Structure 1
Amino acid sequence: MLKKYWFATAALVLSTTVFAADGGGYLGLAAGMSDHSNNGNLANKTGFKLFGGYMFNKNFGLEGGYATTKSSDDNFELTADSFYAAAVANWPVTGAFDLYAKAGLGFNTFDHGGIYGDIGGGQPSTSETSAMFGIGTRYRFTPNFSVQAEYERYHSDTGLISAGLTISF
């Protein structure tokens, strides 16, 4: 009989700890419009992102991801690939709605093409590590499924405005 109470008490304490932490891992994907500030007049702007992270509690976590953005017109094409690692600060506004910000490092590769291929110092491809930041909002339909909208800047000239889906586990 005592074992049953001990087991029930231990289960209650552990479940309370898990719910109080309100953390865990997540994976997601997003798509949107690229923001290449040096090439603002380019017509075709697309971007995609895969990401994952871990929230240590409801306010702080770490995230890593890969984003690719592309801007082009008839004469020029710029593709930027970024791997990033960032700290995430989350503000739960309501039970289902959050605002968040992130900051970290982006590891960027730029491919330049077309008749203006001399952009990027005359090199068809350049690489650079730089600070990255982002802001966004998330709405959770269930504890494990959410949608988000965000703006991220991976480099001084490259950003992504996106909407995406996130699965938490």
Structure 2
Amino acid sequence: MIKQITAATLLAVASFAASAAEPSFYVGGDVGKTKIDDVDGRKTSAGVFGGYTFDENFSVEAGFRRGGKWGDLKVNQYALSVIGSLPVADQVAVYGRLGYNRVEWKEDGDKDHDNKALFGVGVSYQFTKEISGRVEWQRPTSDAQNISVGVAYHF
């Protein structure tokens, strides 16, 4: 399954590369809150991400997030996504995310993981040509959600 998703993503990247208006790489970080349905409370999350923007409507992105810590339970997320953006005003865009997601749980020395589809929606604001900010809601698994605020540097 991972190989199929990776191959599909690379094929999409290759097909859109020729139509890129102003392509650019970007890196960034975010902080937020993670909620897991059967676990009490929301915990602080922190993540890093990097991607490639082909044009104002299409990007691919990889990321890592420490989802939070509830006592002995620690959650980490690894993701590869395709992002579709729609400009709605000067410097403002709404976007949707669809991708592959590996969520790992560690508790009392035991380790487990889940491979699932990743869904997300957000709003971004382009402060300068190089700096953008974003607010995003993600659903990494059917029983978890994360909301985060992030900043990215485009080069």
Is the contact between residue 26 and residue 52 of structure 1 (CA under 8 Å) also seen in structure 2?
Answer: yes
What are structure 1's unaligned runs of at least 5 residues? 1-19, 114-122
- 1:15-164 alignment to 2 at 5 Å? 21-39=21-39, 41-42=40-41, 45-72=43-70, 76-113=71-108, 124-164=110-150
2:126 and 2:114 map into 1 onto residues whose CA distance is 35
User: How many equivalent pairs are there?
Assistant: 136
1:159 and 1:28 map into 2 onto residues whose CA distance is 20
- C-alpha RMSD over aligned residues: 1.7
2:51 and 2:136 map into 1 onto residues whose CA distance is 16
State the Cα distance separating 1:102 from its structure 2 match: 0.5
What are structure 2's unaligned runs of at least 5 residues? 1-19
State the Cα distance separating 1:158 from its structure 2 match: 2.7
After TM superposition, the score normalised by the length of structure 2 is 0.80
Give the SS at the match of 2:101.
Answer: strand
State the Cα distance separating 1:71 from its structure 2 match: 4.1
Deviations 1:19-76, CA, capped at 9 Å, x for gaps:
x81431111100011121221x23x61101100111111101111100111142xxx4
2:5: which partner in 1? none
1:38 and 1:77 map into 2 onto residues whose CA distance is 15
2:69 and 2:104 map into 1 onto residues whose CA distance is 14
Letter in 2 for 1:31: V
Tell me whether 45-54 or 21-30 shows the greater mean CA deviation.
21-30
State the Cα distance separating 1:140 from its structure 2 match: 1.0
Which one has a bigger Cα radius of gyration? 1
Q: Percent identity?
A: 27
Structure 1 runs (4+) deviating above 3 angstroms are none
1:46 and 1:152 map into 2 onto residues whose CA distance is 14
